[in-house]
């Protein structure tokens, strides 16, 4: 029997150069990019030294786009074309986005996701988000002096599938290779846990600009395990501004406001809210377009009383997560506060009261998510040797199901299931001779489909005619490590197989993304082919590197023929890489992927065997 080679722990058998990887916090109010340099995570500031990028995008009639502070400065003068808090609209239709009546935008209801009409044309929230990501990508590339090989993008833990898909699409549009979508509270836990070498069960209370998440994690050496997560993807600091805004309208007895005045007063409301974090009373003054002067003063007591219901609203999900985790308040060792909105003293107080302990906030609540994302990106890029990295086990926040007779939702994968996860369910025909079945994929906890979120509809056709109840249609739900769902269906009672793979279609079709990519290239005067060539080259380079490293570790698992075919595929890819034919490169990449399929499986089996034999050598 051949002896197995085992690399010394911590020694990477095939050392590679350090890959540039970043973590991006794509926030409702502000966005940030961070990276790990010489083992230290740091937020990358802009050329003026400002770490935050306001998540505001302004479209001009000539097609130019302003992002961040310049756009923010124009909010009140050009409200219809200046999009703020776009995260609230990601993966949402007009009817399910919050505060739409108080938004100054010109919405267009499109199937699936709403769109916004601007001076530069109709824009989807995905395109708007991509503008923010592009700026962050450029910032990182300038600051790090090279192309970014991959990015970890954070999303609220409570984001559903459509919202996640939309975020990933935006990253793709911005030319980023997404290493992983990472849940924001989990990112915060990584930054916090590693900084403080914490062990035990922690709660992360994350109240951002537009979303609220509560995650419960078990931290132990080298493992971050999410036990339960809960939240409200329509609750955040914006809602506190909104309460102040409504209070001001009422106090000053204002008539219905135009877009400019509305935006102006909303900005003043936010300023007043922020002022109250450090003062007992805040002035709220604004000069409306009519010339009327709004001159109010908001004290802490009033502010607390008009926002009390919002603070209480966060405690429901806290209790739910504890129940799901099977834990009591006493089991929680610490509560980490994340998100700018947790700076409000009444929020701190409510959390302290609920958990009967002072919350932890020794890390900047605005930066902690980006820092954690950067640390995870560093691990995913392979920059940390095995042994120094960690294992991250996350869950899906909302149950995934399918519509059954009578408009009921049958759960297929339950919420808080550790991902990746898959589950199959069998269905049958209702009528004799039925040759098609239609499926409706939904997400949510409610019993009625109408109360859940519709993710996708698809049809399985070509079922051979049989008597009712004879067909066996197996529907498989697979959730990947990004928390994204892939559904496939197969009829296999008769030996005839029909199968269909759907990606949740609530977001964008691939064709939409391609069109947007083309549009953005036209503006940026970039060449689509040049871009595709660069992308495939990077892809090919990466695959070659990975294959070489796999061969150096496990070549013994290969038969002669197989080794030959992998070598041949590698050679032909190597030859094509310097050329200019991006299609040929793509084909060579696909061919090498196919050639290594069995090898990859065997390597994985081998890894499991090694893992078990390491600790149970006696039982073998």
Q: Which residues bind another protein (CB under 8 A)?
A: 19, 149-150, 179-180, 223, 316, 319-320, 323-324, 379-382, 386, 391-393, 417-423, 445, 478, 480-481, 542-543, 546-547, 550, 592-594, 596-597, 599-601, 603-604, 607-608, 610-612, 614-616, 619
Q: Name the region of 469 (left: φ>0; alpha: ψ -120 to 50; beta: rest).
A: left
In angstroms, the CA 220 to CA 197 distance is 9
| Distance in Å, CB of 422 to another protein, minimum | 5
Q: Which is nearer to another protein, 117 or 446 (CB)?
A: 446
Q: How many CA atoms lie within 13 A of 343 on its CB side?
A: 17
Known catalytic residue at 25: yes
In angstroms, the CA 484 to CA 162 distance is 9
Per DSSP, the three-state class of 69 is helix
Q: Which is nearer to another protein, 343 or 415 (CB)?
A: 415
Q: How many CA atoms lie within 13 A of 17 on its CB side?
A: 6
- CB neighbours of 29 closer than 8 A, spacing ≥ 6? 54, 55, 84, 85, 208, 209, 210, 237, 238, 340
Question: What DSSP state is assigned to residue 97?
Answer: S
CA dihedral sign of residues 113, 116, 121, 125: negative
| Distance in Å, CB of 343 to another protein, minimum | 26
Known catalytic residue at 480: no
Q: Which is nearer to another protein, 99 or 542 (CB)?
A: 542
- CB neighbours of 15 closer than 8 A, spacing ≥ 6? none
| Distance in Å, CB of 604 to another protein, minimum | 4
| Distance in Å, CB of 538 to another protein, minimum | 11
In angstroms, the CA 66 to CA 68 distance is 7
Contacts 24+ apart (CB under 8 A), 566-573: 566/592, 566/595, 566/596, 566/599, 568/595, 569/594, 569/595, 569/596, 570/544, 573/540, 573/543, 573/544
Q: Which is nearer to another protein, 108 or 611 (CB)?
A: 611
Q: Which is nearer to another protein, 519 or 545 (CB)?
A: 545
Name the CA radius of gyration of the chain, rounded: 26
| Distance in Å, CB of 392 to another protein, minimum | 6
In angstroms, the CA 434 to CA 284 distance is 66
Known catalytic residue at 238: no
Output b/e per residue, 328-345; b: 16+ Cβ within 10 A: eeeebebbbbbbbbbbbe
Which of 161, 184, 241, 261 is flagged as catalytic?
Answer: 184
Nearest to 99 by CA among 246, 270, 252: 246
In angstroms, the CA 511 to CA 72 distance is 32
Known catalytic residue at 451: no
Q: Which is nearer to another protein, 50 or 319 (CB)?
A: 319
Helices (H) and strands (E) in the chain, counts: 14, 27
| Distance in Å, CB of 532 to another protein, minimum | 18
In angstroms, the CA 383 to CA 438 distance is 46
| Distance in Å, CB of 159 to another protein, minimum | 19
Q: Which is nearer to another protein, 24 or 262 (CB)?
A: 24
| Distance in Å, CB of 590 to another protein, minimum | 8
Which of 46, 127, 161, 206 is flagged as catalytic?
Answer: 206
Which of 78, 87, 232, 261 is flagged as catalytic?
Answer: 87
Output b/e per residue, 461-488; b: 16+ Cβ within 10 A: eebeebeeeebbbebbbbbeebbbbebb
Q: Which residues are catalytic?
A: 25, 87, 184, 206
């Amino acid at each position: 029997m051949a002896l197995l080679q085992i690399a010394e722990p911590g020694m990477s058998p095939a050392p590679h150069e350090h890959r540039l990887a970043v973590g991006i916090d794509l926030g409702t109010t502000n966005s940030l990019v961070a990276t790990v340099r010489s083992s230290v995570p740091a937020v990358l500031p802009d050329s003026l030294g400002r770490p935050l990028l306001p998540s505001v995008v302004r479209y001009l009639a000539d097609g130019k786009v302003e992002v961040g502070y310049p756009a923010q400065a124009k909010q009140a003068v050009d409200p219809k074309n200046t999009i703020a808090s776009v995260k609230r609209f990601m993966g949402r239709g007009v009817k399910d986005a919050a505060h739409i009546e108080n938004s100054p935008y010109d919405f267009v209801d499109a199937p699936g996701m709403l769109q916004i009409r601007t001076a530069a044309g109709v824009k989807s929230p995905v395109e708007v988000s991509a503008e923010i990501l592009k700026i962050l990508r450029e910032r990182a590339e300038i600051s790090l002096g090279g192309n970014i090989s991959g990015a970890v993008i954070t999303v609220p833990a409570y984001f559903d599938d459509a919202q996640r898909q939309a975020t990933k699409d935006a990253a793709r549009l911005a030319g980023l290779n997404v290493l992983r979508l990472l849940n924001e509270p989990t990112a915060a836990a990584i930054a916090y846990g590693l900084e403080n070498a914490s062990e035990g069960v922690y709660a992360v209370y994350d109240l951002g600009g537009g979303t609220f998440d509560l995650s419960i994690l078990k931290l132990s050496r080298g493992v971050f395990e999410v036990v339960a997560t809960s939240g409200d993807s329509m609750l955040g600091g914006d809602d506190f501004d909104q309460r102040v805004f409504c209070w001001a309208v009422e106090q000053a007895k204002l008539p219905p406001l135009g877009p400019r005045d509305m935006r102006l007063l909303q900005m003043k409301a936010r300023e007043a809210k922020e002022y109250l974090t450090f003062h007992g009373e805040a002035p709220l003054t604004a000069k409306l377009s009519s010339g009327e002067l709004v001159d109010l003063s908001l004290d802490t007591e009033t502010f607390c009383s008009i926002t009390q219901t919002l603070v209480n609203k966060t405690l429901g999900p806290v209790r739910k997560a504890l129940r799901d985790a099977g834990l009591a308040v006493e089991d929680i060792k610490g509560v980490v506060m994340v998100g700018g909105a947790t700076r409000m003293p009444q929020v701190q107080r409510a959390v302290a009261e609920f958990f009967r302990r002072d919350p932890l906030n020794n890390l900047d609540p605005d930066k902690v998510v980006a820092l954690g994302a950067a640390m995870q990106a560093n691990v995913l890029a392979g920059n940390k040797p095995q042994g120094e990295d960690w294992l991250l086990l996350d869950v899906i926040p909302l149950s995934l199901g399918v519509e059954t007779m009578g408009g009921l939702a049958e759960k297929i994968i339950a919420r808080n299931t550790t991902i990746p996860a898959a589950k199959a369910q069998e269905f049958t025909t209702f009528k004799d001779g039925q040759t098609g079945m239609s499926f409706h994929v939904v997400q949510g906890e409610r019993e009625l489909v109408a109360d859940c979120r519709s993710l996708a509809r698809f049809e399985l056709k070509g079922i051979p005619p049989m008597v009712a109840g004879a067909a066996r249609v197996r529907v498989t739900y697979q959730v990947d490590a990004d928390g994204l769902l892939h559904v496939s269906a197969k009829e296999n009672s008769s030996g005839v197989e029909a199968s269909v793979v759907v990606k949740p279609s609530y977001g964008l079709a691939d064709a939409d993304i391609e069109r947007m990519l083309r549009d953005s290239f036209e503006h940026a005067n970039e060449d689509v082919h040049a871009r595709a060539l660069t992308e495939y080259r990077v892809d090919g380079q990466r695959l070659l590197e990975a294959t070489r490293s796999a061969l150096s570790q496990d070549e013994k698992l290969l038969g002669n023929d197989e080794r030959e075919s992998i070598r041949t595929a590698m050679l032909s890819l190597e030859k094509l890489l310097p050329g200019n034919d991006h299609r040929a490169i793509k084909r060579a990449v696909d061919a090498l992927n196919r050639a290594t399929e069995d090898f990859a499986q065997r390597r994985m089996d081998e890894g499991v065997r090694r893992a078990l034999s390491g600790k149970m050598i006696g039982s073998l």
